[in-house]
Amino acid sequence: MIALALWIMETTGGNWWLYVWIVWLTFTLVMFWAWPALIAPLFNRFSPLDDESLKQRIQALMDKCGFRSKGIFVMDGSRRSGHGNAYFTGFGSNKRIVFFDTLLETLEPDEIEAVLAHELGHFRLRHIQKRLLSTAAISFCALALLGWFAAQGWFFHGLGISQPSPWMALLLFMMVLPVFTFILQPLLSRLSRKHEFEADAYAVRQSSGKDLAQALVKMYRENASTLTPDPLYSAWHDSHPPAPVRIERIYANMNA
């Protein structure tokens, strides 16, 4: 991808950054589609869920939420850690529901159903599409900014470079980019936490809020997550709300 970006920078003129953005966005969408069936199996083993009782419960929940997938799979996450998780991946006709084997060993069926309802909330509320759009918008602005910087002699001279070049422009930009992303981080974290709250509220409507809260407690314990992070640090960096705040909101939704 870097070699292709450099080739585009050298051969397409002043609008090179737009062509790089189009190529990057296309690559991202292709990877998102190909990940569940072609790439993830290279690193983990995915087996169809063989618990028929749990499978029927999950299928009933998916029917209720209007979700269609190409299968329900168990991933051998225990080969690397005790971390437990559940997610769906892919889009279009290539969507899959995936459970870590560690999650199935830790949670009760009711709790597994509640966790899945949370993940389906992300689907029904179009959080994945919103995040893709926001990422595309941010990358568009970043590449447009790089395109402008690359045409400014002071950008190179101010950083001690006497011979400007496309590869040097790209390298310098990647070095200074964290300054800008650090400023944007609390906004992105806030948006992510908002989506988590919304998915929790959806799960409360579709399943049991009490089971979701119990599942979160178990998952935080198994994953050794900090339950009381520094509020300022959490607001700036954390993509998920702290456990006590999240559970309090779940019970508030149950009583609403």
- Chain segment 195-253, per-residue pLDDT in tens: 999 999 999 999 999 999 999 988 888 777 777 888 888 888 888 888 889 999 999 99
pLDDT digits (tens, 9 = 90+) for 186-200: 998 999 999 999 999
Domain limits of the chain?
32-124, 130-255
Mean pLDDT, range 160-180, rounded to an integer: 86
Residue 196 annotated to the active site: no
| pLDDT of 128 above 80 | yes
Please tell me which residue in 113, 119, 211, 238 is annotated as part of the active site.
119
pLDDT higher than 90, residue 95: no
Mean pLDDT of the chain: 87
Q: Give residue 93's pLDDT band: very low, low, confident or very high (50, 70, 90).
A: low
Active site residue 222: no
Is 10's pLDDT higher than 70?
yes
pLDDT(20) > 80: yes
pTM over 0.75: yes
Where does residue 38 rank: exposed (0-12), middle (13-18), buried (19+ CB within 10 A)? exposed
**32 has a pLDDT exceeding 80:** yes
SS3 for the chain is CHHHHHHHHHHCHHHHHHHHHHHHHHHHHHHHHHHHHHHHHHCCCEEECCCHHHHHHHHHHHHHHCCCCCCEEEECHHHCCCCCCEEEECCHHHCEEEEEHHHHHHCCHHHHHHHHHHHHHHHHCCHHHHHHHHHHHHHHHHHHHHHHHHCCHHHHHCCCCCCCCHHHHHHHHHHHHHHHHHHHHHHHHHHHHHHHHHHHHHHHHHCCHHHHHHHHHHHHHHCCCCCCCCHHHHHHHCCCCCHHHHHHHHHHHHHC
* Annotated active-site residue in 111, 113, 196, 200: 200
- CATH architecture for segment(s) 32-124: 2-Layer Sandwich (3.30)
- Rounded percentage of the chain residues whose pLDDT exceeds 70: 97
Instruction: Kindly tell me if the per-residue pLDDT of 82 is higher than 90.
Output: no
